[in-house]
Amino acid sequence: MVQATIAVVHEHGYAGTNTQTIARRAGVSRGAMLHHFGTRAALMAEVVRHVFDGEMAEYEATRLATGLGNRLEDWPKILWSVLGRPSGMAVLEILQATRSDAELAQSVIPMQEEVERSALAVMRSAFGGDETLARTVMRLMVWSVRGLSIAERYLPHREENDAAIALLSGLLGLAAPDGKMASLARIANTP
């Protein structure tokens, strides 16, 4: 059902997604789907978790296979290759919908906070840095890439978006030539 939900949200946006369409896409009854997840909001929270878990596994597989990901400057490129996919765009749609859907926000925001804590722990383990600095750098990378993913979807200019990712990577490389978080501490304005 999670894959069906991702496909429907990606195709129709969050506002155009309903449990009946998801159930039909998944090949199950709406009742069976709601029995398993309880509410549409709970299903959306599970989508956020499922996508994050898949992305983390992919990032690690990429790092092990290619070595890409061992330096901070690698991450904008890695994120760019993953977050603009249908699953990443579906999560972005879900996150944006929390602004106007209180039930969704109640289910999804705690899941997103858990996802961020997990990613932060991995990032700090790999690159050091205190929690505040690591969160700042992670958000800069993730949300810059998410924003460019939106631009790519609605204002597709692949060369310019690729250049923006390369620039962000380059700036991180200049700011942290050793590829570690501590180098950024001197220029980051974090408490």
Identify the pLDDT of residue 183. Answer: 87
Extract long-range pairs of 71-74: CB within 8 Å, 24+ residues apart: 71/173, 71/176, 71/179, 72/127, 72/137, 72/172, 72/173, 72/176, 72/179, 72/180, 72/181, 72/184, 73/169, 73/170, 73/172, 73/173, 73/176, 73/179, 74/169
**What total number of domains does the chain contain?**
1
Whether residue 1 is contained in a domain is answered as: no
Identify the pLDDT of residue 60. Answer: 87
Identify the pLDDT of residue 62. Answer: 87
Identify the pLDDT of residue 152. Answer: 85
The residue behind tokens 């603009």 is 84
Identify the CA nearest to 143 among candidates 124, 166, 173, 116. Answer: 116
> Mean pLDDT across the stretch 132-158?
90
Identify the pLDDT of residue 161. Answer: 92
41 touches 108 (CB < 8 A): yes
> Mean pLDDT across the stretch 48-76?
91
Whether residue 8 is contained in a domain is answered as: no
Cβ-based burial of 58 (10 A; exposed 0-12, middle 13-18, buried ≥19): middle
Domain that holds residue 172: 40-184
Whether residue 12 is contained in a domain is answered as: no
Cβ-based burial of 61 (10 A; exposed 0-12, middle 13-18, buried ≥19): exposed
Whether residue 10 is contained in a domain is answered as: no
Identify the pLDDT of residue 37. Answer: 92
The angle that helices 19-26 and 30-37 make with each other, rounded to 10 degrees, is 100
Whether residue 15 is contained in a domain is answered as: no
Residues contacting 147, CB < 8 A, separation 6+: none
Whether residue 11 is contained in a domain is answered as: no
pTM, rounded to two decimals: 0.86
Whether residue 18 is contained in a domain is answered as: no
Q: How many CB atoms lie within 10 A of CB 158?
A: 8
Whether residue 16 is contained in a domain is answered as: no
Identify the pLDDT of residue 190. Answer: 57
Distance CA 125, CA 187 (A): 21
Main-chain dihedrals φ then ψ at residue 28, nearest 5 degrees: -130, 165
Does 76 score more than 70 pLDDT? yes
> Mean pLDDT across the stretch 84-94?
93
> Mean pLDDT across the stretch 120-129?
90
